[in-house]
Amino acid sequence: MRQKKQMIVRQAEITDYAAEGKALTKVDGKVIFVKGAVPGDVVDIQLLKSKKDWAEGQVLHFHQRSTRRIDPFCKHFGVCGGCSWQMIPYEEQLAFKQQQVEDHLTRIGKVELPPMNPILGCRETRFYRNKLEFTFSNKKYFTAEEFRDRKPGDAPEPALGYHIPKWFDKVIDITECHLQADPSNAIRDFVRQIAFGQGLSFYDIRNHQGFLRNLIIRYATTGELMVNLCVGYNDQGAIRGVMDGLIHAFPQITSLMYTINTKVNDSIHDLEPVLYHGKGFIIEHLEKYQFKIGPKSFFQTNTRQGELLYQVTREYAGLTGQEVLYDLYCGTGSIGIFCSEGASKVIGVEVIGEAVEDAKINAYLNQVAHAHFFHGDVTDICTEDFFTAHGRPDVIITDPPRAGMHEKLVRTLLNIAAPVVVYVSCNPATQARDLQLLDSAYRVERIQPVDMFPHTHHIENVVQLKLR
C-alpha cells in the first residue's frame, strides 16, 4: 500500500468528498482523507498522519486530473489557503455542502429529520465579503519556484497579505484577491507602496518587533468604506504619512482610523481605534433595516447572503406579532431587529458588552423601541425572575459560534421550553450534536442550508425546532 519510510500511496483514485473540504479514497480498506483533490483525480499521496483505519495526506503528484475540475480564477490559488475550492464548479460545491449537512445531522445528530430543503446558493460568488484583514510580515512566504530562484544569503523580504496555513510567521504577498470589491485591492497595494516609499518596517511576528501590523478594510453595500491600520507602536509622523496618503488617493474612504497594538496577538477587541478622518463607523442595510458597524463590531461577512439567511430565520420563527422573541448570542442585535416587526417584544442576550451597546444603538437607529438587550451569559440571565420582568419566550433564536452551544445552555433551553426554537449554525457538526441533546423535548420540523462562503467548505444551516 505504501512505502514505509516515505509514507507515500501510489496512484490512488479519489472517489468522493469528505468533511472539512477534503476528498477521500480507500486503499486496502483504509480511508485516506486528502486535501486539494477532486473525485476522479488519480494521485500519489504523501501521508501526514496514519492510523489503523484512516489516514490524512496531501497530493504529491497528479497522474490524471479529474474531468470535473475547472481552472481556478485566482493567481494565488493553492498557496494562500483561501477559496480552496476554486477548482470545483460552484453547483458541485453546493451539492456537496448539501450532502455534508445531511450527513452531519444524520450521523451525529441521530434524530428524526424531515426532508431537507435545497441549499440556497449565492448569486455573487466573488467579491462578496464586506470585511478583509491583511497582515504585514517581514518574512514573505516563497513558493517552491520562487525559492529556487533565490540566492544564498538573500535577505528575507516583507509581505502584505494572508498567513500561510500552519505557518504562523510566514505571509504570502497578495497582489490580487477576489473576496472584496474594489477599491480593496487598490488600497492594499497602495499601503504596501507607501510603506516601501517611507521605509516603514513590517512586523516581525516571531520576535514581536516592527511598525506595520494589520490592515482591516470594511466595505458596505451602501458604498461606505472603513480602513483601519494597526501599528506596533505610536509613531505619529509615520502614521500621518500613511493616513494622509490614503485620504488623498481614496477620497471615497468614509472612516479612516489607526489602532496602536503593542500586544503579542493581533486582536483589537480590547484596544481603542483612533479616528483620523470621517465618522468612525459605516452603515450597512439588510432590507429596510440599517446597522451601525464600528471597527470592532461583528456583522455577517457576506451582506447580501446574510440578508437571505435572516429571511429564512424570520420565516422559521413564524412570528404573528404576538410573540416574545429571545435572540441568544445576539451580537449587535441584527437578527432580533430584523425579526422585530413580527414580535411583541425582542429580548437579546450577549456576553460581549460592546456588542450589546452596539445592539442598543441599532435598535434606536431603526426605531425598534420594543427591543431590549442584556449583557451576560444566557444561563445566568434567563431566570424565573427575569421571565417575570420581561416575559417568557414564545420563540427563541440561537446563533452560537462554531463550537455550538454549551451543554449548560442546552439544559437551560430544555427548562425554558419555548414552543419554537430556531437554531442558526455555522457548523452543522456541532449543531447536530446539540440537536441530539434537544431531542428529548424538541422535534426538527424544517432544515435550510445556506451557502455564505463560495469556494470554501464552510456552510450555514438553519433548523426549526418545535416542542413535542
Catalytically annotated residue among 80, 83, 382, 426:
426
Quick check: is 330 catalytic? no
3-state secondary structure the chain: CEECCCCEEEEEECCEECHHHCEEEEECCEEEEEECCCCCCEEEEEEEEECCCEEEEEEEEEEECCCCCCCCCCCCCCCCCCCCCCCCCHHHHHHHHHHHHHHHHHHHHCCCCCCCCCCECCCCCCCCCCEEEEEEECCECCCHHHHHHCCCCCCCCCEEEEEECCEEEEEEECCCCCCCCCCHHHHHHHHHHHHHHHCCCECECCCCECCEEEEEEEECCCCCEEEEEEECCCCHHHHHHHHHHHHHHCCCCCEEEEEECCCCCCCCCCCCCEEEEECCCEEEEECCEEEEECCCCCCCCCHHHHHHHHHHHHHHHCCCCCEEEEEECCCCCHHHHHCHHHEEEEEEEECCHHHHHHHHHHHHHCCCCCEEEEECCHHHHCCHHHHHHHCCCCEEEECCCCCCCCHHHHHHHHHHCCCEEEEEECCHHHHHHHHHHHCCCEEEEEEEEECCCCCCCCCEEEEEEEEC
Q: Which class for 424: exposed (0-12), middle (13-18), buried (19 or more C-beta within 10 A)?
A: buried
> Which residues, 6 or more positions from 14, have their beta carbon under 8 angstroms from its beta carbon?
23, 24, 25, 34, 37, 38, 39, 40, 41, 42, 43, 66
Nearest to 225 by CA among 250, 254, 245, 258: 254
Q: Which three cell numbers stand for residue 350?
A: 450577549
- Considering only CA atoms, which of 228, 456, 225, 416 is closest in space to residue 328? 416
Among the listed residues 18, 20, 70, 27, the one whose alpha carbon sits nearest the alpha carbon of residue 50: 27
Residues noted as catalytic: 426
